């Protein structure tokens, strides 16, 4: 059974839903290990705009896709120098094949393999926020257990201004 979405409140929130930040992490540049910036402590995203940016497609990660493209364009990157993939792992494989570079959430640093390096960005960019959304009237013990675990992170229960409650 398909249920029509509830109307939004005047401030843009959906009635009946709660949100909380579970994680907030900076962006990093993922580069082939022989890239000129791979030996630097931090990667200058403005310099990286000479490369092709490899990003997960909007269909697989819509919020991340939008944030990565915005970060790229603010740094002067051209939309013509963007290659979309079906997943983060495919993006990393294309970077390893020297078909571009990637800008990803810092958690990706834990899965880069030999031939790749992850470097923090030289310039400050908005962090990637992982947000949990649930119905305020949900009474499932599984949901309550999940929320207790997910929200026990050091991140504050605060969204960035454009997404705040």
- Looking at residue 155, its pLDDT comes to 59
Would you state the CATH architecture of domain 26-120? 3-Layer(aba) Sandwich (3.40)
Domain range annotation of the chain: 17-21+128-163, 26-120
Q: How is 81-142 classified by DSSP, letter by letter?
A: GEEEESSHHHHHHHHHTTS-BEEEEGGGGGG--TTEEEEEBSS--PPEEEEEEEETT---HH
Q: What is the pLDDT of residues 93-109, one digit of tens each?
A: 999 999 999 999 999 99
Among 59-63, 139-143, 155-159, the least confident range: 155-159
Task: Answer whether residue 152 shows pLDDT above 50.
Answer: yes
Angstrom distance (rounded) from CA 12 to CA 164 = 10
Q: What is the pLDDT of residues 4-56, one digit of tens each?
A: 344 555 554 567 888 888 888 999 999 999 999 999 999 999 999 999 999 99
- Looking at residue 9, its pLDDT comes to 56
* Contact between residue 71 and residue 45 where contact means Cβ atoms under 8 Å apart: yes
Task: Answer whether residue 158 shows pLDDT above 60.
Answer: no
Q: What is the pLDDT of residues 65-124, one digit of tens each?
A: 999 999 999 999 999 999 999 999 999 999 999 999 999 999 999 999 999 999 999 999
Task: Answer whether residue 3 shows pLDDT above 50.
Answer: no
Please give the DSSP secondary-structure letter assigned to residue 161. G
Angstrom distance (rounded) from CA 101 to CA 26 = 17
């Amino acid at each position: 059974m398909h249920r029509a979405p509830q109307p939004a409140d005047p401030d843009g929130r959906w009635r009946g839903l709660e949100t909380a930040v579970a994680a907030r992490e900076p962006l990093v540049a993922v580069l082939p290990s022989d890239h000129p910036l791979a030996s630097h402590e931090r990667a200058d995203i403005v310099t990286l705009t000479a490369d092709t940016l490899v990003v997960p497609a909007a269909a697989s990660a819509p919020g991340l896709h939008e944030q990565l493209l915005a970060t790229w364009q603010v740094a002067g990157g051209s939309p013509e120098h963007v290659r979309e993939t079906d997943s983060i792992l495919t993006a990393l494989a294309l970077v390893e094949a020297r078909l571009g570079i990637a800008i990803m959430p810092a958690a990706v640093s834990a899965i880069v393999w030999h031939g790749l390096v992850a470097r923090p960005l030289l310039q400050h960019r908005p962090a990637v926020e992982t947000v949990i959304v649930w119905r305020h009237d949900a009474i499932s013990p599984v949901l309550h257990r999940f929320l207790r675990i997910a929200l026990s992170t050091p991140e504050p229960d605060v969204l960035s201004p454009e997404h705040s409650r």
